[in-house]
A and B are shown apart, each in its own frame.
Chain A
Amino acid sequence: MSCFLCNSSVGKKLVMSVSGCFLVLFILFHMSMNLTAIISPAGYNTICEFLGANWYALAGTAVLAAGVLVHILYALVLTLNNYRARGSQRYAVTVQEPGVAWSSKNMLVLGFVVLAGLAIHLIHFWSKMQLVELLGGHVNALGFGPADGAALIAHTFSKWYNVLIYLVWLAALWFHLTHGVWSMFQTVGWANDTWYPRLKCLANVVATLVFLGFAAVVVVYFAKNCCCTCC
């Protein structure tokens, strides 16, 4: 069985689908957690404390990192295969086929944008929270406690360029999910002509919820900071 997950085209796609599904579920969990920061910064910090350098949070982080790594590695292997299969001679004239979504043809590029955003996000937050705790520190480089997530959010989104970077990142994630979510079902074979419109609608709903949920925190904290500065 392990063979077909590494050697067969459909098997490799199954790994992409399952790892993608896992990442989507994590993103939905992360988004719900973030929304707490709007309602109650203190409540959000309690969650941050709960998800600090505890064994279960570290195990979760390790599994998540493995999921991200597998998704990226398989994407690179599949794309390389596809590049070879297309051949060295390309068409001189190409057109966009009707009904083909732009995102479906640019998943790798969108994936790279999402990855770059993830790297920035880890520097902004993870390196100043869980990593500080792991290294035995009690205060991060900005002078906040490692579980003071609300203060870190307020600090990060007090800068307009961070707001812009995060919104571009979330937009790339939106495009990635509009194709990725319904593709998960297609790859495992749970799709047909009746279900395509429903699955594509579900993908758009999930992608939009994720975008709005994350963007709300960014915008609300930026607006709060603007109000505080003006007052």
Chain B
Amino acid sequence: MTGAALAATLVLAASASTPTVGSKQFGESLVLGELAAQLARDAGAPAEHRAALGGTRVVWEALVRGDVDLYPEYTGTIARELLGGAVPAGDPAALRAALAARGVGMTRSLGFEDTYALGMRRARAAELGISRVSDLARAPGLRLGFTNEFMDRGDGWPALRARYRLPQRDVRGLEHEVAYAALAAGEIDVTDLYSTDPEIRRHDLVVLEDDLHAFPPYDAVYLYRLELERRAPAALEAIRRLEGRIDARAMIAMNARAELDGVAPARVASEFLRATLGVASAPEEEGRTSRILRRTREHVALVAVALLAAIALAVPLGVVAARRPGAGRLVLGAVGVVQTVPSLALLVMMIPLLGIGARPAVAALFLYGLLPIVRNTHAGLTGIALELRESAAALGLPPRARLRLVELPLATPAILAGVKTSAVIAVGTATLGALVGAGGYGQPILTGVRLASVPLILEGAIPAALLALVAQGLFDLAERWLVPRGLRRARAAGAIR
């Protein structure tokens, strides 16, 4: 399995003559990803931007595996989180040496720092007399709400708590955008933020001074696969033009455009490139219709491939389960266990095996699709009246013929209902595929959540809901084709269950 995955990765990496840019799931990373992709295109390399791939770990793994060639990162994160704290974040030469051992290169600083910081509402901070992080030790009752990544990261909350000996117990994990809303509503008192977040100004927040220097420097850089220097030197050179060209003010302004004004990251990046570097890069803006059509193709492909594979395996499994009660319990138990794995966890577990993109998403959807079909096939077959099963056997039909001529036709309504359930679930779950770079309707939903843009969320959510309805309708039609006429009429007449 690992060998095959490795081979597939090598093929993928070798065949990708064009640089693939990745980004994390927040506005600034999206904009920085766009900047790199557009500069590469300007240099003649048709770069692809796999936007909002996931958190730090997912994108870093994708880089190391070769699924992406370059993505924006921060030196503090590199030192603490990716290299395990062995190298000081403030020593670029040491970072480069440590990264080179993994086949990864690092640009110089892009010109700004986006450090972790703690923020409070101005009124609340003034009321408690808090202006530095060390002041927090005096107010043990404060409610803290941190992003999930910050809660777990080596350079996040654990480091901060140890350094400042903070006593707070009411600490919970939230999404970044939710944390700002909770802070504004007074539900929490303190949250982690990024120093370039435009919300700091918008919500009039106080950034607490890191007086004991718990946070390392977080200079923005690009990480790239060293082989890119040979494979696409012109593109890399073009991207390097950004070194030292983005100051904190410019980045905050771009973040505000993208996150507060809802301007597409591609356009924000293009405007910056024109103004600062004189690069007339066309943001790859497709029209809404073609965008939705492309995502529909991606989404339908994910669902269709996964569903067909699930049917191909689940119906035979259901037959085996119905034939052999012992094996049946085992099969039903196994596919039931798969169903209890949270979809996000299943997707992330697929990445080491299958990389990012459509493959892990299809694999996860396939696994989720099994249970309803297996269970309904089993129930459909075991629900056939004993008298009918015995009549078929008594006629002298061999088991396969009984299955084909009598049992499967009689179980068709149940099997179809299972397939329909699987299809509708798959249409919904496939939106999570965007988390691992599979595209589809999840892409605008995910980006919309990151950018707090309701129109963007709806651009994914509405087609996804429509597709679920269409799938449902198609299966109702399929029922007319596939359920034997006599059975349909008998059911309509109430003659049988």
A and B are partners in one complex rather than unrelated chains: no
- Could you list which residues of chain A lie within 8 angstroms of chain B, going by C-beta atoms? none
